[in-house]
């Protein structure tokens, strides 16, 4: 239950960041509750918001939702909150109470200005990056994928990579066969699931990773390694027969040598 509560709080704070929108939404909700609750449409909106708050913040319902969709994507529930409709209804209701057109115009400009500065610009650095590949995945992932396509011995050769790059590999070329999917889902076996857990750990045990990768018959491992982790990882991979191929930034590619058969 502690883990459930952690995700409730963590994703709420992470989703909104330093934005003012949750406070604006709360103010709009209180305004509608006090001044517009008798209107039918406003009543529906208020009821819907209360229901979503209960579902999101109640540990029991949160646990059920997280079990269905996973704690790591619990933030998607926040998408359901009618923040934009609530703000729109509250602002238009407030402005409609003011009869002076000049004052209305000033308040419209003020409201638009508040909304504009409350969020984070989509043009911020890092939100959009120009890439040259047709699949529009990060260039780093495209480079790794091309190496994997060249190094695998057959189209059904298994590859293991962590969440930071694995989804991009499949987008770049669906023929790349992964031992497990995003968040370890779709793992081919219990051993593959444990391999994912070990690879995703804050302090990975590379000996266990090598052992489980060999047991799973993974031909290529993609490991994101810091400078401090390289010595331990390289020794463990060599012990289990994996040879270092190359690196793309922090992503180091290890391959178990198998004779190629047919087209790859």
Whether the per-residue pLDDT at 264 is higher than 50: the answer is no
Rounded to whole angstroms, how far apart are CA atoms 29 and 51? 13
Rounded to whole angstroms, how far apart are CA atoms 125 and 108? 30
Q: In the predicted model, what is the mean pLDDT of residues 36-61?
A: 93
Mean pLDDT of the chain: 91
Q: In the predicted model, what is the mean pLDDT of residues 156-171?
A: 93
What pLDDT score was predicted for residue 261?
Answer: 63
Structure confidence by residue, pLDDT tens digits, 85-104: 999 999 999 988 888 889 99
Report phi then psi at 244, rounded to 5.
Answer: -70, 130
193-232 per-residue burial string, b: 16 or more CB within 10 A, e: under 16: bbbbebbeeeebebbbbbbbbeebebbbbbbbbeeebbee
Rounded to whole angstroms, how far apart are CA atoms 72 and 76? 9
- Find the angle CA(218)-CA(219)-CA(221) to the nearest 5 degrees: 80
CA 116 to chain centre: 25
Q: In the predicted model, what is the mean pLDDT of residues 234-241?
A: 97
Q: In the predicted model, what is the mean pLDDT of residues 18-42?
A: 91
The three-state secondary structure class of 191 is: helix
Percentage of residues in the chain with pLDDT exceeding 90? 72
59, 8 contact by CB (below 8 A): yes
Q: In the predicted model, what is the mean pLDDT of residues 130-143?
A: 91
What pLDDT score was predicted for residue 181?
Answer: 87
CA 29 to chain centre: 28
Give 125's pLDDT tier (boundaries 50, 70, 90).
low
What pLDDT score was predicted for residue 121?
Answer: 74
Among 8-12, 27-31, 128-132, which stretch is predicted with the lowest mean pLDDT?
A: 128-132
**Smallest Cα–Cα separation from 142: which of 248, 11, 10, 244?**
248
Structure confidence by residue, pLDDT tens digits, 192-223: 999 999 999 989 999 999 999 999 999 999 99
Q: Is the pTM of this model over 0.85?
A: no
The DSSP bridge pattern shows strands 218-224 and 243-248 to be unpaired
Residue with more model confidence, 225 or 128: 225
Rounded to whole angstroms, how far apart are CA atoms 191 and 253? 21
Percentage of residues in the chain with pLDDT exceeding 70? 97
- Crossing angle for the helix pair 83-96 and 101-118, nearest 10 degrees? 160
């Amino acid at each position: 239950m502690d883990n459930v509560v952690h995700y409730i709080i963590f994703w709420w704070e992470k989703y909104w960041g330093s934005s003012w929108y949750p406070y604006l939404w709360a103010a709009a909700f209180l305004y509608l509750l006090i001044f517009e609750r008798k209107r039918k449409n406003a009543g529906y909106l208020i009821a819907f918001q209360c229901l979503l708050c209960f579902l999101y913040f109640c540990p029991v319902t949160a646990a059920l939702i997280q079990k269905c969709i996973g704690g790591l994507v619990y933030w998607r529930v926040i998408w359901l909150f009618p923040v934009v409709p609530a703000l729109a209804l509250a602002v238009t209701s407030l402005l409609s109470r003011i009869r002076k057109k000049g004052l209305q115009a000033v308040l419209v400009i003020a409201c638009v200005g508040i909304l504009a500065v409350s969020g984070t610009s989509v043009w911020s650095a890092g939100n959009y990056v120009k890439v040259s590949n047709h699949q529009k995945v990060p260039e780093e992932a495209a480079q790794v994928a091309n190496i994997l396509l060249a190094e695998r011995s057959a189209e059904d050769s298994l590859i293991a990579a962590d969440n930071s790059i694995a989804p991009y590999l499949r987008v770049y070329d669906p023929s790349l066969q992964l031992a497990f999917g995003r968040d370890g889902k779709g793992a081919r076996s219990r051993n593959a699931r444990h391999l994912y857990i070990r690879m995703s750990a804050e302090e990975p045990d590379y000996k266990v990773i090598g052992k489980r990768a060999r047991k799973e018959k993974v031909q290529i491992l993609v490991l994101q390694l810091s400078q401090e982790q390289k010595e331990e990882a390289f020794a463990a991979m060599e012990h289990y027969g994996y040879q270092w191929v190359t690196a793309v930034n922090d992503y180091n590619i290890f391959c178990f040598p198998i004779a190629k058969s047919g087209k790859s």
